[in-house]
Structure 1
Amino acid sequence: MSGRTRPVLVYDGDCGICTKCVSFVERHLSKDIDIVAWQHADLPSLRLSQAECEEAVQWVSSSGAVSSAHIAIGELLKDSGALWWPFGLLLQTPPFRWVASVAYKWIAKNRDRLPGGTPACAMPAHLRPGATRPAADQPEPPAA
């Protein structure tokens, strides 16, 4: 048991699309979750890496189980009550899971070109304005 009492949704705070989606979640879905941008999260305590968070949205259940991408969205929806639960289940059930996986990957790859996307969405996190640390698998930038 992780000691956590509420699940946590971890998203990319530099992404306009992610931020808009989180606003929707805050207005319409479960209030019994914590939502945090990975740039401001204590990733080790959530058992997440920066690379995982750069790749996809993450869901950490109250038991500590981690899900990502479309599966994380499905867990969020299932945890948001009777109205949203069926949609969460569909996202995790074939053939809908396969379609959701392809759609999630396409949106993530093209998020800088979609409505609400920003130029920062196209950049690796360690190169974005205000970046404080390079990704673990990226070399340090050369000294000027």
Structure 2
Amino acid sequence: MNPVRKRRLIVIVMIVAAAALAVTLLSMALQRNVAYLYTPSEVLRGEAGDKARFRLGGMVAEHSFKRATGSLEAHFEVDDGDARMPVVYTGILPDLFREKQAVIATGSMKDGVFVAEQVLAKHDETYMPKEVADKMGAAHKKHNVEDKPAAAN
């Protein structure tokens, strides 16, 4: 084989190997940061598995929010129509956080309680994250709950 062609072939093989290594490292890094969304009933059925970190989505259950005076630790329950999951969060909650509103909490399970690292609340009256809306819609169909008509603009 011609020395020039041999050198080009070696360079091409090294570039392909470096690109494969970079893609592998990137996919491994992204996979560790992925947080899947589950509803309380899915978590209780074991669908979340032993995932260290995931997102819990649903509605903040009515009369479930409690906070000790002088503390940033909040206790509430997330409801999907089929099940409730207790959540504990230490920090400042979003301004629009309230009972009977959509919420997504990112965190992990510890002793049967979801320990949230981050809590996101819906930002207006018509918004609900698509994943939560789809799962809540399935729960509404299951329990024959009528959807509210959309507000006219």
Q: What TM bracket, shorter-length normalisation?
A: under 0.3
Work out which of the two has the higher radius of gyration on C-alpha atoms and give 1 or 2: 2
- Could you tell me the TM-score, scaled by structure 2's length? 0.25
Task: Pick the structure with more helix per residue.
Answer: 1
Indicate the structure whose relative CO is greater, using CA pairs within 8 Å and at least 6 residues apart. Answer: 1
